[in-house]
Amino acid sequence: MSLINIYMEFDILVEQILEEAGGTCTKVTGQQSSSRKDKKYMRCVKTKTGYKRVHYGDPKLRIKKSNPKKRKAFRARHKCSSAKPGTARYFSCKNW
């Protein structure tokens, strides 16, 4: 077996493992529950080089956006006015 064939088989195995684990983003998706234990939500977003997965939100906290004081404090604390699209901070602010 040549070295090139071994590399090709390895690449195929890596792709299969990533697909099974949901590790690749191939299109922009809406908000989903995250595959990570420490995050609540996940999205796939388009970047200049392709697609990336963004995890955000604390699974232990609820969003209390009906309270104007809490909403104002959250937006000030996270600097929502300067959040760039495609970042975890942007999506977290957008939920509020």
Q: Is 44 helix (H, G, I), strand (E, B) or coil?
A: strand
In this structure, what token pair is assigned to residue 80? 């929502």
Helical spans, DSSP H, in the chain? 3-20, 68-77, 88-95
What pLDDT, in 10s, does the model give residues 52-85?
Answer: 888 888 777 787 878 899 889 988 998 999 999 8
CA distance 92 to 78: 9
CA distance 39 to 54: 10
What pLDDT, in 10s, does the model give residues 9-32?
Answer: 766 666 655 555 556 777 777 776
pTM score, two decimals? Answer: 0.64
